[in-house]
Amino acid sequence: MNTTHEEADIIIVQQMLMAAKEKPTSFTVLSDDTDVFVLLLHYYLEDSLKFMVGMKSPIKDRAIVDIGKTVEKHIDIIPEILAAHALSGCDTIACCFGIGKSPVLKVVRSGLLLSLLGQIDASLPSVTQQATKFMTACYGQNNSDTMSNARLSAWAAKTGKGYTSTPKLSSLPPTSERPSRKT
């Protein structure tokens, strides 16, 4: 099996997808990496896989996660999980301060979508609007239509005294500029 990818997480999942063409009855991935877990969930659903895929930690005595059963149990959020994982921080994208996986999953479960991220034919304003709505909700600013408004509202809420006290800037939503890829 050949690959042109350099990222091990992608190679692991790519190898599983290549092996799927041989119609195995089961496949076990040895990893405890969150990025690998999210990629397995995404591609298990995306490629309509039917065989048992297990994810086993290299650390002794940890449970094996059944990817198929996990997809089945969380079918309503799996289509959004890849983009949500990227927005909340992963190996190649920095997370926003104070926004971890739990708040992001809560927003995904609320029904807000990230379906336009990664869609080549989606317009940039549409993608930005959808992602902004999602991110402002992660910061608890559901009524904000821009990151700047969310930042201002979060500032006021954190001060508790209007606009006169100063919270840590890192605890506020990011500015309207698009986040750049971490280097």
Residues 37 and 104 in one domain: no
Given this model, what pLDDT does residue 2 score? 59
Asked if residue 182 belongs to a domain, the reply is no
Stretch 7-19: mean pLDDT:
83
Residues 55 and 26 in one domain: yes
Which parts of the chain fold into alpha helices (H)? 8-20, 34-46, 67-73, 78-87, 101-109, 124-138, 147-159
pTM value > 0.85: no
Neighbour-count burial of 137, counting CB atoms closer than 10 A to its CB (0-12 exposed, 13-18 middle, 19+ buried): buried
Residues 56 and 117 in one domain: no
pLDDT band at 124 (very low <50, low <70, confident <90, very high): very high
Asked if residue 147 belongs to a domain, the reply is yes
Asked if residue 46 belongs to a domain, the reply is yes
Residues 65 and 101 in one domain: no
Enclosing domain of residue 50 = 8-73
Asked if residue 183 belongs to a domain, the reply is no
Token pair for 9: 């997480």
Residues 113 and 161 in one domain: yes
Asked if residue 134 belongs to a domain, the reply is yes
Last residue within a domain, chosen from 43, 73, 103: 73
Residues 116 and 56 in one domain: no
Residues 107 and 151 in one domain: yes
- Kindly report, residue by residue over 143-162, the tens digit of the pLDDT: 888 888 888 887 777 776 55
Asked if residue 110 belongs to a domain, the reply is yes
Residues 98 and 167 in one domain: yes
Reply yes or no on whether the pLDDT at 71 is more than 80: yes
Asked if residue 177 belongs to a domain, the reply is no
What is the rounded CA–CA span in Å between residue 76 and residue 136? 21
Reply yes or no on whether the pLDDT at 123 is more than 90: yes
Stretch 45-57: mean pLDDT:
92
Asked if residue 62 belongs to a domain, the reply is yes
pLDDT band at 167 (very low <50, low <70, confident <90, very high): low
Give percent of the chain with pLDDT exceeding 90. Answer: 22
Query: Number of folded domains in the chain?
Result: 2
Residues 143 and 98 in one domain: yes
Residues 67 and 109 in one domain: no
Mean per-residue pLDDT of the chain: 82
User: Is 80 in contact with 113 (CB distance < 8 Å)?
Assistant: yes
